[in-house]
Amino acid sequence: MLDFMHAGGMLMWPLLGLGVVAVVAAVRRALHNAEGAIDPGKLARALLAGSLAWCGLGLAKVASCAFDPNVDPRLFVIGFGEALSPAILGLSIYALVALASSLSPARLSARGPA
């Protein structure tokens, strides 16, 4: 996990911290049907947008070296892996928030019996 966070760059830690806040808010809203000051869906979408922007920045850096003859081609694989780390974390957080939000008691009772 530390290698994954290190590979993604310095913004992975704030992304993880805000992601934990979003997941806790979504679970709290789902279990207690509570409306809090934090909208987990909006926070998760903002985190997803930020992580994809950070991923795009990393991919742009990797692509800028594509035609440099002094760069070993194996570094591109490592670079793409490092650049995709924020997107993996952001999509994972978004999926957890969406899952927790879809399991709220009010939403399940509104569906009726299966």
pLDDT band at 27 (very low <50, low <70, confident <90, very high): confident
Which pTM does this prediction carry? Answer: 0.74
CA dihedral 56, 60, 61, 63 (to 10 degrees): 130
State the average pLDDT for the chain. 81
Q: What is the DSSP letter of 37?
A: S
Interval 34-57 mean pLDDT: 81
Helix (H) or strand (E) run with residue 103 in it = none
Helix-helix angle 40-64:74-102, to 10 degrees: 170
Segment 71-112, tens digit of pLDDT = 888 888 888 888 888 888 888 888 888 888 777 666 556 555
pLDDT at position 113 is 59
Please tell me the predicted confidence (pLDDT) of residue 108: 56
